[in-house]
Structure 1
Amino acid sequence: MQGVDRSRWAHSSDVLDYTTLRGLRVGVVGAGSSAMDSAATALECGAASVDLLVRRTDLPRINKSKGSGVPGLTHGHYDLPDEWKWRLRHYINVQQVPPPHGSTLRVSRHPNAHFNLGCPVQRVDLQGDTLRVATPKGTFVFDFLIVSTGFAIDWRQKPEFAHIAPHVRAWGDRYQPTPGDEDQELADSPDLGPVFEFQPKTPGSCPGLERIHCFCYPAALSHGTVSGDIPAISDGARRLANGLASLFYREDIEQHYANLLAYSEPELLGDEWTAADTARRVEQPLAPASRERA
């Protein structure tokens, strides 16, 4: 899309007034959940037609990520050996997650929705007011294009992270998968500590880095899908909250100890009982017998 006028296209993650697509021929690149939501919204807002351009010759049918959602993943993924973490996440990435059933029906119920399979985008050109999108099956002509290509972990696009980005240790800095299992998304994923905290490539190179906690999708390789996926996000949030509470306690331990020493709230006031006359409650000793003179 480089060089194509930004007024003619948007990414599915952009803020877009879909009512501006009324009466237009709209193309949607992709077939994931964001592609379906984008296509359906365009159709519901009166687009003349929506063509989905899908690389694959068929849509994925089975949500392998859902199949991995067991209590063991929730509570034990972080402790797995590196090779198993990589193997699980790479397999799910390769299989891809299908769009939700309801989202797909939201698109297909429209007669002016078209699922074009086996149509990877090869080139996009702006000619006048129209976009010409080349695919192996021919060229599509659109008035507007929505690119639903997912996301990448790219620190360079986030200037607010420029200070810490060079110091964050990624999986690619410390782990090399077996040949054939290379995965750029996984290699770029941050290598996180037990409380989702960033870790430095070189110890001490960025003081305070460990105070930044990455509770979002890039944590999936380190922790499993507990920071951005149903149903385990509540477990992940609890893990984060418990971990932060522990870190705060450790950091403030001197203050907690001082509070302990100063604590003086009485549990008992002294009027809850009456002291017994213990001398009357114990066995009295017998007087020694006197000796008779012979």
Structure 2
Amino acid sequence: MDYLRWYRKVMNVDVRNEHHVRHVHLHPDNYLELTLQAPEGEKVVAARRLILATGRDGLGGPGYPAFADKVPAHLRAHSSDYFDYNTLAGKRVGVIGAGASAMDSAATALEAGAHSVDMIIRRNEIPRINKGKGSGSPGLVHGYAGLSDDWKWRIRHYINVQQVPPPKGSTLRVAAHHNARFNVGCPVLDIDVRDDVIYLTTPKGTFVLDFLIFATGFNIDWHLRPEYAELAPLVRTWGQRYHPQPGQEDAELAACPDLGPGFEFQPRAGVDAPVLAHIHCFSYPAVASHGTVSGDIPAISDGASAIARSIAGSLYQEDVADYYAQLEAYAEPELDGDEWTPAGPPLPVEAQ
């Protein structure tokens, strides 16, 4: 936070805290109107361009398996929730998942005094190799967007299927506790709740728990983002345009918006909404179209540069008449006219 405050000061960035976007309106005159809830009340601002830099759940929210509905809200949490882990002291806690957030949630519960933590892991083994890290290169950063659809899908689907392992330090943080248990090969078969006790059935037996944490990632789900209700039905997704080979189906990739070269939304077939191109998706769902340049630390600066160039270029094209007038009016001299002395007439031919 100290760094961000320093950056804000040095770059003179206009940051408006405690401002919530309640609605994005696509104005017929080809600009955007944002309804904001601010400390001083509701207000509407106009924008020529809008960048959605809203993180991992930028076009949705926390993802839950279907069986989560069987657990009352006061007995469960998602790993992304604001949550006081001290309330888990003395409780039997279950964590669904084995990724980075699962390990952090489990470790935090243990350090807060949980009686025990059972990690419920569907896979027979926790992933060990970060395929995403193995794919990283300048070529991928700068060349992914230009790949064919088949190659884009093949790369991202493979990484999705392999999954990313949790960090070693986070895993050791959990393993350091004697009351932590890594239960692999444990898909959830059923859940029953009686008298605020959770009975979670798996192929390896039934776990008796007082609280359940879902470290189950995020879903692209426009319904969870009411502020985008006006544009959601208009945006084209990968699933509407691209059909993978049998066995390569991927619900996450299919839900990703099919973005243009400047991360801009594109309309579905039959939709006339040119203003969509003024909204740029710089959150995780850009991954299908542009790779991991809108969230992962190693390449996010490259992604930011690409989107900035695109917006600067498109604004110039829109305002080319104004820029041409500026060109005509430009009158700052490079020379004052006294830097040289004009030569006289040339000498007669016979004297040269």
Equivalent in the alignment of 1:23: 90
Q: Tell me the distance in 1 between the aligned counterparts of 2:184 and 2:70.
A: 26
Secondary structure of 1:52's aligned partner: strand
Kindly indicate whether the alpha-carbon contact (under 8 Å) linking 1:123 and 1:134 is maintained by their aligned counterparts in 2.
yes
Q: Larger deviation: 128-137 or 168-177? A: 128-137
1:13 alignment partner, one of 80, 88, 92: 80
Q: Tell me the distance in 2 between the aligned counterparts of 1:274 and 1:85.
A: 61
- Relative to structure 1, is the Cα distance of residues 235 and 277 closer, same or farther in structure 2, using a 3 angstrom cutoff? closer
Equivalent in the alignment of 2:172: 105
Q: Tell me the distance in 2 between the aligned counterparts of 1:180 and 1:252.
A: 48
List structure 1 runs of 4+ shifted beyond 6 angstroms: none
2:314 alignment partner, one of 230, 243, 247: 247
Equivalent in the alignment of 1:157: 224
Secondary structure of 1:213's aligned partner: strand
Kindly indicate whether the alpha-carbon contact (under 8 Å) linking 1:12 and 1:35 is maintained by their aligned counterparts in 2.
yes
Q: Tell me the distance in 2 between the aligned counterparts of 1:270 and 1:28.
A: 78
Q: Tell me the distance in 2 between the aligned counterparts of 1:122 and 1:156.
A: 28
TM-score (norm 2): 0.77
* Unmatched runs of 5 consecutive residues or more in structure 2: 1-67
Higher strand fraction (1 or 2): 2
Deviation at 1:255, TM superposition (A): 1.6
Q: Larger deviation: 188-197 or 2-11? A: 2-11
1:225 alignment partner, one of 265, 277, 292: 292
Secondary structure of 1:256's aligned partner: helix
Equivalent in the alignment of 2:48: none
Q: What pairs with 1:92-131 in structure 2 (closer than 5 Å)?
A: 92-131=159-198
Q: Tell me the distance in 2 between the aligned counterparts of 1:204 and 1:269.
A: 56
Secondary structure of 1:2's aligned partner: helix
Equivalent in the alignment of 2:255: 188
1:113-146 C-alpha deviation (Å, 9 max, x unpaired): 1111111122222211321111111111111110
- Relative to structure 1, is the Cα distance of residues 264 and 217 closer, same or farther in structure 2, using a 3 angstrom cutoff? same
2:344 alignment partner, one of 240, 260, 278: 278
Equivalent in the alignment of 1:82: 149
Q: Tell me the distance in 2 between the aligned counterparts of 1:49 and 1:245.
A: 54
1:165-215 C-alpha deviation (Å, 9 max, x unpaired): 111111111111111111111111111100111100135533411111111
Q: What pairs with 1:169-180 in structure 2 (closer than 5 Å)?
A: 169-180=236-247
* Unmatched runs of 5 consecutive residues or more in structure 1: 288-294
1:84-116 C-alpha deviation (Å, 9 max, x unpaired): 111111111111111111211121112221111
Equivalent in the alignment of 2:211: 144
Kindly indicate whether the alpha-carbon contact (under 8 Å) linking 2:70 and 2:193 is maintained by their aligned counterparts in 1.
no
- Kindly tell me the number of residue pairs found equivalent between the two proteins: 284
State the Cα RMSD in Å: 1.7
Q: How high is the sequence identity, in percent, across the aligned residues?
A: 61
Q: Tell me the distance in 2 between the aligned counterparts of 1:237 and 1:274.
A: 47
- The higher radius of gyration belongs to 1
Structure with the larger RCO, 1 or 2 (CA within 8 Å, 6+ apart): 2
Q: Tell me the distance in 2 between the aligned counterparts of 1:81 and 1:198.
A: 19
Q: Tell me the distance in 1 between the aligned counterparts of 2:150 and 2:140.
A: 15
Kindly indicate whether the alpha-carbon contact (under 8 Å) linking 1:164 and 1:206 is maintained by their aligned counterparts in 2.
no
1:60 alignment partner, one of 127, 144, 147: 127
Q: Tell me the distance in 2 between the aligned counterparts of 1:72 and 1:33.
A: 27
Q: Larger deviation: 102-111 or 49-58? A: 102-111
TM-score (norm 1): 0.91
Equivalent in the alignment of 1:208: 275
Kindly indicate whether the alpha-carbon contact (under 8 Å) linking 2:94 and 2:119 is maintained by their aligned counterparts in 1.
yes
Equivalent in the alignment of 2:202: 135
Deviation at 1:283, TM superposition (A): 3.5
Q: Tell me the distance in 2 between the aligned counterparts of 1:67 and 1:173.
A: 30
